[in-house]
Amino acid sequence: MPRTAQKVDDLAAEGESMIDALEEVLAVAEEQGTVTWSDVSDDITSGEWGRLIEKGLLVDAGGDGFVIDDPEGIHEALGDADPAADDDGDGSWTKYDKAAAVGVLALFAGYSLQSVRSEIAGVIDLFMGPLAETLPFYVVVLILALMTGLFTTILQDNLMDDNVMGDYQEQNKRLKEKRERAKEQDDDELMEEVREEQMELMSENMGMFKAQFRPMVWIMLLTIPVFLWLYWMVLDVGVSVTGPAMVLPIFGEIANWRTSVLGPIQLWLIWYFLCSMGFNQILRKALNVQTSPT
């Protein structure tokens, strides 16, 4: 039952039409014992039919059509499945995710407005100021890169749903094979089915994008204030390189954080991103975090 409930919940997250399709197929299967595509083709789309098979809710009965896997479990799950509970069809986003997105937009103002940047950086400086007075600035940047890398890794591990991307890629692959088969057989009816499923998949693409972008909102909410503090320290406070000068390959020894190293990109920005990318890779390996579908 738990696995069946999860499958039904996944369908509910895709939209009310999938639940309607499941109920239609379930009703026909219980009435006839088995169900075929021709039995329900007037009421559901081929894409919805294929999705029920992919989810394992419809099982091949060996040439006699399909049967419902765990019908009792589906009935129980349908009692709990509520497509409207999925934040009004806004994918996996909740009201808290939306509030975080608004917060990120507000934080972006700090890049162009010095007053906003100073306010945000002033709060961060209460914690980071003593550290910056004690350690060389390049070490402070290194510590911040480690902290933001850890935040990023944990948030991606907890908020990113690899199954969404995996399902989308699997459907794309299946449609590609089906389209090639239709071309080889010169089957216009099958090609029309492929076009219909492609249109449905395009509508699902927005939900996939929202699910994948969700962790990025929380990551930016935590990392932008840190980045603004660095921006404030270098551009507004004018922190200088203390201790040993920075030595970069090709560019050599650099003693000013505002030195343009790569085009308009300054030293402090390159040093932060180098540290951040390095720690992100190490932490993902150490914590076994998968950020792409297998």
pLDDT tens by residue, 47-91: 888 888 888 888 887 777 888 888 888 887 777 544 444 444 444
Token pair of 147 as six digits: 């902290």
- What pLDDT, on the 0 to 100 scale, is given for residue 144? 92
Q: Which residues contact 39 (CB under 8 A, 6 or more apart)?
A: 28, 32, 65
List beta partners, residue 262: 265
How do the domains of the chain map onto residue ranges? 2-75, 95-161+214-287
How far apart (Å, rounded) are the C-alpha atoms in residues 104 and 219? Answer: 10
- What pLDDT, on the 0 to 100 scale, is given for residue 290? 65
- What pLDDT, on the 0 to 100 scale, is given for residue 146? 92
The C-alpha angle with vertex 154 and arms to 163 and 123, in degrees rounded to 5, equals 135
Residues in the chain: 294
HSE, CB side, 13 Å, CA atoms: give it for residue 263: 1
Are residues 152 and 159 in contact, defined by beta-carbon separation less than 8 angstroms? no
Are residues 59 and 67 in contact, defined by beta-carbon separation less than 8 angstroms? yes
List beta partners, residue 35: 66
Phi, psi dihedrals of residue 150, rounded to the nearest 5°: -65, -45
Residues of the chain with pLDDT below 50 are 1-2, 81-91, 241-243
Burial class (CB in 10 A: 0-12, 13-18, 19+), 187: middle
- pTM of the predicted model over 0.75: no
- What pLDDT, on the 0 to 100 scale, is given for residue 242? 47
Structural element, H or E, at residue 266: strand 265-266
How far apart (Å, rounded) are the C-alpha atoms in residues 64 and 50? Answer: 17
Sign of CA dihedral 184, 189, 190, 194: positive
Neighbours of 185 (CB within 10 A): 10
How far apart (Å, rounded) are the C-alpha atoms in residues 86 and 148? Answer: 30
Token pair of 130 as six digits: 């003593």
- What pLDDT, on the 0 to 100 scale, is given for residue 55? 81
How far apart (Å, rounded) are the C-alpha atoms in residues 198 and 204? Answer: 10
Token pair of 106 as six digits: 């507000």
User: For the domain 2-75, what is the CATH code?
Assistant: 1.10.10
Token pair of 192 as six digits: 């029309």
- What pLDDT, on the 0 to 100 scale, is given for residue 68? 85
Residue with tokens 């944990």: 154
